[in-house]
Amino acid sequence: MNRATLVRKSLFRKKVRAILLILSIAIAFFIFGALGAFYKAFNSGVEVAAADRLVTVNKINFTVTMPLAYQARVAQVEGVRNVSHASWFGGYYQEPQNFVQTFAVDPETYLIAYDELTLPPEQREAFLTDRTCLAAGRALANQYGWSLGDRIPLLSNIWQQQDGSSAWDFTICAIFDADDDAVPTNYAIFHYDYFNETLAFNRDQLGWLIVSTADPALNAEVSQAIDALFANSPAETETTTEAAFTQAFLEQIGNIGLILTSVIGAAFATILMIVGTTMVLAVDERTKEIAVMKTLGFTAPSIFAMTLGEVFLLSLLGGLIGLGLAWTLVSLAAESLAGFIPGLGISLDIALIALALMVGLALLTGLLPAMRAMNVQISTALGKL
């Protein structure tokens, strides 16, 4: 019988206990894998933010609008290459639960600002010239089964038209992709002018400005110049990098990073105590057996390695099972949630971190039991017979 077989048999000598320990570890890694996938998907906007893009919002809050005239004034600031703007529409398709992330934008400058969005030339031209065109992202179009030429209404739970209607009619004349899979395409954009001219209230206002600088090194200088331009005005501004703006937007939902760390930390702390205590007890149960193994020629280092190997096998079995379950769940959820959380999946870096945690868990819970096993004295252990 080789040592690997001994390790396996030692681990499963009490099958119920081993299975319960594996399930406990699996639950911890299932939580880590699933929450890690959602966290990475939520933060994809931060990761793909362009270094030369700034976002200017109302200093009170990004939900408070600013005058449309700010766009032209910001365009005059030295170091600014392009200025676009966007406004939150808050739309839904047919039923309120069919949420559609929609923005009213300045088409030409918006496509310059977000040059990572790709459109066939004819669709790009259609979007620029047709005021009632809706350009839908690929993920969003797939979610609702939209095709080029479809006529659809989008309703808003925020805005109303002058005739009292909350529905805007659109023709889908463009479906955009992105040159990077990490860039989300789960939203739609349409002409701000079409939106603005029909509004019943709050006309000639915009949600935020998207400012492209000539060089990322100028970001701080340009940000200060923009905010100084509107200091002491009725609508003061705050300009940050796109990554900082996206992070602030996510924090409106909650501190996802803190939630993730707290939940995973609590799960792993519990598992550490359970596995560590159980393995110490398991070694104490086998004191005489370990003494006999030493009399048969097993050295102290080999006893240490075999005991630590048990914990490594336990950690890897539980971790891989948990990560596999998380991967299955996330894969099943990814397609149905593509319109809300694009790019959902367990990436290689999450898997590598999980593997490192499995090793760390094994070391933290296995070193003490392994040292106790290694230091078992033959005379003392067999003297108890």
Q: Summarize pLDDT for 192-244 with one digit per residue, the tens.
A: 999 999 998 989 999 999 999 999 899 999 999 999 999 989 999 999 888 77
Q: How confident is the model at residue 136 (pLDDT cuts 50, 70, 90)?
A: very high
pLDDT for res 79: 94
pLDDT for res 179: 82
Please give the model's pTM, rounded to 2 decimal places: 0.66
Residue 40 vs residues 182, 302, 343: alpha-carbon distances, Å: 10, 42, 9
Q: Summarize pLDDT for 342-367 with one digit per residue, the tens.
A: 567 788 888 898 899 889 888 888 88
With tokens 């939203």, the residue in question is 187
The DSSP output letter for 88 is E
Element spanning 139, H or E = helix 138-144
Q: Summarize pLDDT for 48-79 with one digit per residue, the tens.
A: 567 889 999 999 887 899 999 999 999 999 99
Q: Summarize pLDDT for 121-131 with one digit per residue, the tens.
A: 999 999 999 99
- CB neighbours (10 Å) of residue 23? 13
Question: Could you tell me which residues are beta bridge partners of residue 152?
Answer: 170
- CB neighbours (10 Å) of residue 34? 20
Residue type, 85: H
Residue 11, pLDDT > 90, answer: no
pLDDT for res 172: 95
Phi, psi of 289 (to 5 degrees): -60, -40
Residue 293 vs residues 15, 81, 298, 308, 367: alpha-carbon distances, Å: 22, 76, 6, 16, 19
